[in-house]
Amino acid sequence: MDGEIRLLLKLIDEAYSTKSWHGPNLRGSLRGLTARDAAWRPGRGRHSIREITLHAAYWKYAVRRRLLGEKRGSFSLKGSNWFVRPSSMSAKAWGADIALLESEHRALRQAVAGLDRSDLRTKPSGSMIASGHIIRGIAAHDLYHAGQIQLMKRLMRR
């Protein structure tokens, strides 16, 4: 496997689940949260941690789809980007949301691992930016939301 592809895989894994210097990654920020915690909203009209989790899963799907040239509409939830959820849920439902995020991360990794170095410089159909940039962006997206979740956890425990 090409060194640049290996580096991108390491980057998306550090942002999602493997140990890194910067503190909690996305998966780490979700560790230990109950269904009640995940459904909590910091204010009226604000997203819950559950909704952020599903948003992150959706964008992993969207990046994978874009990299592979797949058609839209195959995400497991109806809609796109943000998925409004009720203010309460079961532990089973929260577990299913986490499983969806995990599944989408694995699928994204597989898509990136299947790319050639030359693919990183090409713009996927319908995109204005190259694949390598998109992959770096999804890692940054995970870290952004990891920080947001960490802040929300502090706010909910005040």
Residue 104 CB neighbours (<10 A) = 22
Cα separation of 20 and 16, whole Å? Answer: 10
Full domain range(s) for residue 16: 3-156
Q: How confident is the model at residue 157 (pLDDT cuts 50, 70, 90)?
A: confident
For residue 158, the model assigns a pLDDT of: 66
All residues at 6 or more sequence positions from 149 whose CB lies less than 8 Å from its CB, including other chains:
26, 29, 30, 49, 52
Q: How confident is the model at residue 142 (pLDDT cuts 50, 70, 90)?
A: very high
More confidently predicted of 152 and 86 = 152
Number of domains in the chain: 1
Helix (H, G, I), strand (E, B) or coil at 60: helix
* Mean pLDDT, residues 26-49 taken together: 95
Rg (CA), the chain: 16
77-125 pLDDT, tens digit per residue, is: 898 899 988 888 899 999 999 999 999 999 999 999 999 999 999 999 8
**pTM confidence score:** 0.94
Tokens of 136: 């770096």
Please write down the HEC assignment for all residues of 72-128: CCCCCCCCCCCCCCCCCCCHHHHHHHHHHHHHHHHHHHHHHHCCCHHHHHCCCCCCC
* Mean pLDDT, residues 122-150 taken together: 96
- Here the CATH number for the domain that contains residue 100 is 1.20.120.450
Nearest to 108 by CA among 9, 24, 39: 9
Tokens of 150: 């960490």
More confidently predicted of 67 and 77 = 67
User: Is residue 1's pLDDT more than 80?
Assistant: no
Chain-centre distance for alpha carbon 1? 24
